[in-house]
A and B are shown apart, each in its own frame.
Chain A
Amino acid sequence: MPLLEIDAVGRSYGGVHAVQDVSFNVKAGEWVGVIGPNGAGKSTLFNILGGQVKASSGHVRLAGRDVTRLAPHRRYRAGISRSFQISSLFPDLTVREHLTLACRQNHRWSMVRGWRGDRVLAARVDELLDTWDLGRNDGVELPANMSYGAQRRLELAIAVSAQPSLLLLDEPNVGLTASECGDLRDRVAELGPETAVIFVAHDMDMVMGWSDRILVMHQGQLVADDTPEAIARNAFVEEVYLGAEPIVA
């Protein structure tokens, strides 16, 4: 059984179809790249998967469970975690507080025990600070005082920290150097062979290097779903990227 099943998913705003009749499956451990020109519907598709946007039609199933109508926080608990294209951080929280929020898997409403006193949690946060090279000043920095690259690393660290079964990365390489991008691949791979990753990117070298499969979107539709080698030879995809005639699937 596939980990993720997308069945005829669509989303329209008035008469505009941002995503239309998209279907595909993702197996556990698979890395799937999503490409397409601007306005192709990649971000809307990501938001439908993450629950930030409700699908107008179709179904999303995770490990056989229909999650189409689940709110984002319930999807997260079901195993879907995501990063955002533009870093979505908490302006008034320190790096340590960001990671603490991300690592609190049980979401208990403890009012008695201070979060700073939780040694297990603190150890996990220390580990993440170290792994993602965010430990400057012991993690007391606010996002506004960090470089863009560090903000991106924090964005990715809090998405990955949940050890999800499905990880959605929206343009994860933006703001990262080539070597940081390679490190990111390794860190995500450390989540284990069962974690599936779907990512959106414009850097074709990265997409070709990271993906087991590539999905190509154009005008809200899925126009190709194949291996990187096959996509590289696909004239149709080349046309889409070179901005030739509009494609009608």
Chain B
Amino acid sequence: MTTVFTQLRRKVPVLVLLIGALELPFLLSSQQESLLTRALIFAMMAASLDLAYGQAGLYSLGHAALAGVGGYTAWLLMVRYGHESFWYLIVAAALASALASLVFALVSLRARGLYFILVTLALGQMVSNLAQQWDFLKTAQAEAVTGIYIPSLGLGEDWHSGTLYQFVLVLTALGLFTIQRIIGSPLGLAFRGSRDNEVRMEALGYDVWRYRVVAIVLSGTLSGVCGALFAFQSGLISPTNIGVATSGLLVLMAIIGGSGTRYGAFIGGILVTLLQFYANQWSMERAPMIIGGLFIVTALLLRFRPKVAGALRSLTRGRVSHAVA
């Protein structure tokens, strides 16, 4: 009984936060709602990256391309083939991204360490170049594909920036919940084991290669859903959205928030998206320098990360163990 109460007590702040966030449209302008929606989508993308990066130790620099596969699939089915159901489009985006992730995994996992990162970078750039060069993936010869709108849920909804924000918030909460379930499952434990000591995991009967494939596919699938949401919200998607710069930004989000922690990448995603927006508002010319500076500071502070993460883990683990006992 104590365990149930302890678990409920831990969930109450999350629920209060979620309900509070759902009420935000009453306080914000439509521009701020759009910004927050964008931040939620990118935060979710960073959290999905962290499933492979922080949990399974697979440092990918091609993650934005997997989101792009989701976004372009949604555009293709909506604009070229006239499908208007949100559910149809989102499932198709997820499936296409899962397939692309599988190809990414099968190719990139043939390499290790730095070479793995370089292969993911090359694969991501290939997808981005494909979107840039292939006329089939263009509207009116423009680089970005346009004509996307927020599809129907079939519930007679009235889309505006506030309702879209609330809808994306609910989807994000579901996505985060899914990630937390994976992290807390035997699969998540096996991801962390594969990240920390491949030889020992193999000696304990775990097929590390398969677990890594699963990590990349799950991560890419979630990212594809985020890519489709990005396209619905923006009304367009372009090759620059899915290139190496965006992939690097996602890695930055995960690291700043605390890669490998429960909510770190998500929080990092929110912070970096907001920072990027306000930096752009302050000065379009200087914004890249601010983000670049953040990259450098983050890289320099990385050496302190194990200590901070270790301390945080010790604190949270102490609490968890008492809950279990």
Interface residues of A (CB under 8 A from B): 50-52, 71-73, 76-77, 81-82, 84, 88-94, 96-97, 100-102, 104-105, 107-116, 118, 122, 137-140, 142, 144, 158, 162
B197: nearest chain-A partner, CB-CB: A90
* Measured CA separation A144–B190 after assembly (Å): 20
| With known contacts A77-B205, A138-B325, A88–B187 Cβ distance under 8 A | no
Indicate whether B214 reaches chain A with its CB closer than 8 angstroms: yes
| With known contacts A73-B208, A82-B203, A97-B189, A111–B181 Cβ distance under 8 A | yes
| With known contacts A112-B185, A138-B321, A50–B190 Cβ distance under 8 A | no
A100: nearest chain-B partner, CB-CB: B189
Residues of chain B contacted by A139 (CB below 8 angstroms): 321
A88 touching B199, Cβ below 8 Å: yes
B309: nearest chain-A partner, CB-CB: A92
Indicate whether B27 reaches chain A with its CB closer than 8 angstroms: no
Contact of B192 among A51, A88, A92 (CB under 8 A): A92
A109 touching B189, Cβ below 8 Å: no
* Measured CA separation A110–B183 after assembly (Å): 11
B318 touching A140, Cβ below 8 Å: yes
A52 touching B187, Cβ below 8 Å: no
Residues of chain B contacted by A100 (CB below 8 angstroms): 186, 189
| With known contacts A77-B205, A90-B192, A109–B186 Cβ distance under 8 A | yes
Contact residues of B: prevailing secondary structure: helix
| With known contacts A52-B199, A76-B203, A101-B193, A110–B185 Cβ distance under 8 A | yes
A76 touching B205, Cβ below 8 Å: yes
* B179 → A minimal CB distance (Å): 10
* A113 → B minimal CB distance (Å): 7
Count residues of B near A (Cβ-Cβ below 8 Å): 35
Residues of chain B contacted by A90 (CB below 8 angstroms): 192-193, 196-197, 200
B203 touching A72, Cβ below 8 Å: yes
Interface residues of B in 143-196 (CB under 8 A from A): 181-182, 184-187, 189-190, 192-193, 195-196
Indicate whether B29 reaches chain A with its CB closer than 8 angstroms: no
A103: nearest chain-B partner, CB-CB: B204
Indicate whether B135 reaches chain A with its CB closer than 8 angstroms: no
- Ranked 3 nearest A-B pairs via Cβ: A76-B205, A72-B202, A90-B196
29 pairs, CB–CB < 8 Å, chain A vs chain B: A51-B202, A52-B203, A73-B205, A76-B202, A76-B205, A77-B205, A81-B203, A84-B203, A88-B197, A90-B200, A91-B196, A92-B192, A92-B196, A96-B321, A100-B189, A101-B193, A101-B204, A104-B186, A107-B207, A110-B186, A111-B182, A111-B187, A112-B185, A114-B184, A114-B185, A115-B184, A137-B321, A139-B321, A140-B318
Counting residue pairs across A and B whose Cβ atoms lie within 8 Å, the total is 116
Interface string of B192-225 (1 = CB under 8 A from A): 1101110111111111100000100000000000
Residues of chain B contacted by A92 (CB below 8 angstroms): 192, 195-196, 260, 313
Contact of A94 among B190, B197, B260, B317 (CB under 8 A): B317
* B107 → A minimal CB distance (Å): 20
* Measured CA separation A92–B311 after assembly (Å): 11
Residues of chain A contacted by B199 (CB below 8 angstroms): 52, 72, 88
* Measured CA separation A104–B182 after assembly (Å): 16
* A168 → B minimal CB distance (Å): 9
Residues of chain A contacted by B207 (CB below 8 angstroms): 71, 73, 107
Residues of chain A contacted by B204 (CB below 8 angstroms): 73, 76, 81, 101-102, 158, 162
* Measured CA separation A76–B202 after assembly (Å): 8
Residues of chain A contacted by B208 (CB below 8 angstroms): 73
B218: nearest chain-A partner, CB-CB: A111
| With known contacts A138-B325, A140-B321, A142-B314, A162–B184 Cβ distance under 8 A | no
Interface residues of B in 277-325 (CB under 8 A from A): 310, 313-314, 317-318, 320-322, 324-325
* Measured CA separation A118–B187 after assembly (Å): 13
Contact of A116 among B197, B203, B324 (CB under 8 A): B324
10 further A-B contacts with Cβ under 8 Å, apart from A73-B201, A101-B189, A138-B324, are A50-B203, A71-B202, A76-B203, A84-B203, A90-B196, A92-B196, A96-B321, A100-B189, A109-B214, A115-B185
* B308 → A minimal CB distance (Å): 13
Residues of chain A contacted by B201 (CB below 8 angstroms): 73, 101
* B259 → A minimal CB distance (Å): 12
Contact of B187 among A71, A93, A109, A142 (CB under 8 A): A109
A106: nearest chain-B partner, CB-CB: B186
* A199 → B minimal CB distance (Å): 16
* Measured CA separation A158–B184 after assembly (Å): 21
